[in-house]
Amino acid sequence: MNKLTLAFFFALLATSALARAASNEHEQHHDASSQQAPQTATHVGVGVLKAINAKDAKVQIAHEPIAALGWPSMTMWFVLRDPVPQGLKAGDAVRFELMQGERKQWVIVNISPK
């Protein structure tokens, strides 16, 4: 082998080793991140229960600003994960926790009298 061929061979070998190392690092990072459980953040709100639609598992709430979401005060319909607690009725002040559901809708996961 002449010197040029030998230099080319070693350069190719070094490039191949670097590519394998980078690939292994990427796979290890990917495996570690895919094993982490997705974080589902809940946000707290307070307001007044305006209406209950038990048939469709929804409630309408006139809520105060929710700073964590950048929401001003407004009246909105929310999906309920669980039925409305017994005794809770329209006109009651409530505290609620909500999170974004799979279809990007906001779901109340806990609601109670304030």
CATH number at residue 50: 2.40.50.320
The predicted-structure confidence for 52-108, as pLDDT tens digits, reads as follows 999 999 999 999 999 999 999 999 999 999 999 999 999 999 999 999 988 889 999
Residues 5 and 25 both lie in one domain: yes
Environment class of 111 (CB within 10 Å of its CB; exposed 0-12, middle 13-18, buried 19+): buried
pLDDT of residue 89: 96
Q: Which residue in the block uniquely carries the two structure tokens 């799979």?
A: 102
Is the domain of 3 the same as that of 22? yes
Query: How many separate domains does the chain show?
Result: 2
For residue 8, what pLDDT band results from cuts at 50, 70 and 90? low
Q: Are residues 5 and 51 in the same domain?
A: no
Place 40 in a pLDDT band, splitting at 50, 70 and 90. confident
Query: Cα separation of 57 and 75, whole Å?
Result: 17
- In three-state secondary structure terms, 14 is helix
pLDDT of residue 42 exceeding 60 = yes
Do residue 52 and residue 18 come from a single domain? no
pLDDT of residue 103: 85
Label the pairing between strands 74-80 and 93-100.
unpaired
Higher pLDDT, residue 36 or 45: 45
**Cβ(88)–Cβ(113) under 8 Å?**
yes
Question: Do residues 58 and 109 share a domain?
Answer: yes
73 and 101 in a single domain? The answer is: yes
Same domain, 83 and 51: yes
Return the biggest CA–CA distance within the chain.
Answer: 91
Q: In terms of residue numbers, what domain contains 23? A: 1-36
Statement to judge: residues 105 and 51 lie in one domain: yes
Q: pTM for the whole thing? A: 0.65
